């Protein structure tokens, strides 16, 4: 099976490459290309279409995205091109030249407004609060319309949340640095404690992506690690578990703050837990608690 991967230099892209199942021929792309990577600019819809026509993949695994949530507020056209234009172009090209060709589109809990106070089911209506969520929702919609997510459809949309891993730009690596700095300066680390979601390690997310592909699944899927957390809970756990493993000398004191006390350009959902039960049943995958996954990722950093 031939899979065209985008975002290969990103944190999920790297985990997907590391966990590629046998029998998959992977064509990995990134914005500028490089060793073992083809160049593909997701902001260029013609280039996206050309890549599909050239490779005629069985699947496009679109892990690449404009993920800078706050910056997207001031670059909406670029965010829209990458997050909605690219999946649309892939879907159009697959429909035109690859009979049976399928698309796995990664998406986000930020397509929801976070106002309902209970976990989101896959069939609940997106209502994004910011540009990033809006562009990802627009990408979902294009893929659904062009390829279909029903039983006979050729599209899978996999929404996930709070992604982190041992490499890339993510909350874990930022917090490890800040714990060290703040502990040395004997200052507290202030972290938002009124947004609820769930951290998701790239390793488990990558496995779920491969389960979608190897099972030729279509539909809308939700995947995160198990449990619930605030960013404050996550920061406290990172400090405690990293100190216990000797990755940092001491954890800084973490103080809870409110979202209103830490204004950001983009509004974030207050409660964006994803209900992953249906995905687990359908794909036969199980999620582990986020604290256990955190321990595993810290173990990789320790190695
Ligand atoms: N990170 C999260 O917390 C989170 C949460 C929910 C859902 N998701 C979704 O999960 C997927 C994977 O995210 P991630 O965490 O792995 O993101 P990431 O580490 O930020 O990686 C994103 C990748 O997309 C690439 N990219 C951005 N603009 C591009 C362009 N114009 N042309 C080609 N490549 C471009 C980036 O390349 P450069 O390095 O060159 O920019 C990078 O390789 C995305 O669809 C994201 O929306 C992420």
- pLDDT per residue, tens digit, the chain (303 aa), is 999 999 999 999 999 999 999 999 999 999 999 888 999 999 999 999 999 999 999 999 999 999 999 999 999 999 999 999 999 999 999 999 988 999 999 999 999 999 999 999 999 999 999 999 999 999 999 999 999 999 999 999 999 999 999 999 999 999 999 999 999 999 999 999 999 999 999 999 999 999 999 999 999 999 999 999 999 999 999 999 999 999 999 999 999 999 999 999 999 999 999 999 999 999 999 999 999 999 999 999 987
Report the nearest-CA residue for atom 2 of ligand 1. 163
Write down the pTM of the prediction.
0.96
Instruction: Compute, in angstroms, the gap from residue 123 CA to the centroid of ligand 1.
Output: 24
Selecting among 66, 132, 164, 271, the annotated active-site residue is: 132
Instruction: Compute, in angstroms, the gap from residue 201 CA to the centroid of ligand 1.
Output: 14
Instruction: Compute, in angstroms, the gap from residue 65 CA to the centroid of ligand 1.
Output: 4
The question of whether 132 is a catalytic residue gets the answer yes
DSSP 25-36: EEEEEESS-BTT
Rg, Å, the chain Cα set = 19
CA 158 – CA 28 distance, rounded (Å):
19
Instruction: Compute, in angstroms, the gap from residue 26 CA to the centroid of ligand 1.
Output: 18
User: Taking the chain, what is the end-to-end CA distance rounded to the nearest angstrom?
Assistant: 33
Q: Are 108 and 158 in contact (CB under 8 A)?
A: no
**Distances, alpha carbon 126 to alpha carbons 28, 114, 179, 275, in Å:** 30, 10, 35, 14
Site residues for ligand 1, CB cut-off 6 Å? 7, 9-13, 30-31, 40-43, 63-67, 82, 106, 108, 136, 160-163, 168
Q: Is 96 helix (H, G, I), strand (E, B) or coil?
A: helix
């Amino acid at each position: 099976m031939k899979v065209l991967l985008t975002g290969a230099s990103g944190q999920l892209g790297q985990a997907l490459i590391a966990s590629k199942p046998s029998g998959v021929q992977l064509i990995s792309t990134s914005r500028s290309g490089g060793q073992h990577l083809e160049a593909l600019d997701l902001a260029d819809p013609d280039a996206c279409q050309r890549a599909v026509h050239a490779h005629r993949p069985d699947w496009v695994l679109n892990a690449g995205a404009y993920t800078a949530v706050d910056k997207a507020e001031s670059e909406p056209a670029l965010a829209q091109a990458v997050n909605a234009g690219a999946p649309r172009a892939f879907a159009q090209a697959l429909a035109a030249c690859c009979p049976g060709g399928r698309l796995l589109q990664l998406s986000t809990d930020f397509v929801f407004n976070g106002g309902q106070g209970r976990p989101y089911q896959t069939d609940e209506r997106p209502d994004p609060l910011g540009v990033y969520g809006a562009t990802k929702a627009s990408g979902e919609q294009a893929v659904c319309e062009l390829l279909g997510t029903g039983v006979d459809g050729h599209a899978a949309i996999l929404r996930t949340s709070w992604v982190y891993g041992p490499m890339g730009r993510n909350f874990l690596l930022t917090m490890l640095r800040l714990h060290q700095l703040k502990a040395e300066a004997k200052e507290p680390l202030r972290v938002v404690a009124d947004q609820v979601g769930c951290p998701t390690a790239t390793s488990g997310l990558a496995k779920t992506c491969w389960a979608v592909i190897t099972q030729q699944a279509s539909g809308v899927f939700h995947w995160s690690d198990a449990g619930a957390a605030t960013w404050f809970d996550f920061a406290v756990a990172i400090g405690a578990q990293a100190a216990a493993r000797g990755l940092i000398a001491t954890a800084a004191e973490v103080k809870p703050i409110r979202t209103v006390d830490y204004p950001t350009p983009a509004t974030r959902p207050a409660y964006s837990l994803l209900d992953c039960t249906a995905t687990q049943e359908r794909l036969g995958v199980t999620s582990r608690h986020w604290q256990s996954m955190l321990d595993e990722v810290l173990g990789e950093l320790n190695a």
